[in-house]
Amino acid sequence: ASRALVLLVVLLAVVSAGCEAGVSEATLPSCREGGGREACSTEEESQEGRVDAAHHSQSQPGAQAPPDDSEMAQEWDYLDLGHIRATLIRQEDTILFNLIERAQFKRNLPVYQPGAAFLQGTGIGECYTKHLLGETEAIHAKARRYTSPDEKPFTPKDKLPAPVLPGLEIPENMKYLQSIDVNINHKIYDMYVGTIVPWICKEGDDGQFGSAAVCDILTLQAISKRIHYGTFVAESKFRSQPEEYTKLIKAGDKDGIMKLLTNAKVEELVIKRVQKKATAYGQEITDDSALIGPAVPEEELSNYKVNPTLMGKLYHDIIIPLTKDVE
């Protein structure tokens, strides 16, 4: 009996050691509970995630050596047309969902007013949305968010902290894009507060100032990223017609450049797609909901969380024109 007990103890020790040696990050779920979208492993995971995963696998016994930095950098090609299209379509979803979240609260004008009554005694002199936006961007700056050409802060860069993380390896053919400092966030903010919020929100105050401001920040950042993604779109378009663009650039022909940048047929398709998404995302889904069908009657538009027609107008009047300004 004692010999059997000894054998059992030895067997358990061997199994335990084997389990400890075999457990690695690769065996864990790809999405951590409560981690949000950024915690999920997807086909479009960031290069930062690749670097972290490569470092982990390198530390595991018998693991295959990761590719060097230059190889990993080449994998993440922002100028690939398929990647650009997929990114722009995904950004439509992000913008629409954020607008739907903001639309649940009233306009809440005090969050945009410096020295509003609800801020008395807080030491905050600027408007609450701008204050909270600056605090948020200070945190994101440490995570090197604003080292990417399509990520532009609303806060002046000299007021933001330096990144804590080391810089990413950038492909040689894209390095110069980092030096392009086109930032039209002041226009985006003014149009958001003065036009977009009144389009989607009921007038008045509901006291939900904190929640409204948080939704504002998420929406502003999503719209800004979509518009400043024009940096990559412009470079891709230039590479497809270098002679035509070079001639117009040397001549300083801004109108000619804008005409060459414009593809009316594609813009119309984008607007229609956004309206269809707003129709699908903006209604209460039931078993008999018809997501595909004729245009929504005018009298029924008020039943949607966001007006599908106005979402198309948002792209037609604001997002697409500002994107082309960036380009």
Residues identified as active-site: 85, 226, 237, 263, 267, 323, 327
Q: Check: CB of residue 312 under 8 Å from CB of residue 301.
A: no
Q: Check: CB of residue 163 under 8 Å from CB of residue 143.
A: yes
Rounded to a whole number of angstroms, the distance between the first and last alpha carbons of the chain is 81
Task: Give dist(CA 105, CA 131) in Å, integer.
Answer: 19
DSSP for 248-291, please give it: HHHHT-HHHHHHHH--HHHHHHHHHHHHHHHHHHTS---TT--S
Phi, psi of 31, deg, nearest 5: -120, 120
Q: Taking Cα atoms as reference points, which of 213, 28, 222 lies closest to residue 124?
A: 213
Q: Check: CB of residue 60 under 8 Å from CB of residue 20.
A: no
Phi, psi of 40, deg, nearest 5: -90, 140
Structure tokens given for 238: 């230039």
Structure tokens given for 24: 């690695």
195's CB contacts (< 8 A; 6+ apart) are 318
What is the CB neighbour count within 10 angstroms for residue 107? 19
The SS3 of residue 233 is helix
Which long-range contacts link 120-124 to residues 24+ away (Cβ below 8 Å)? none
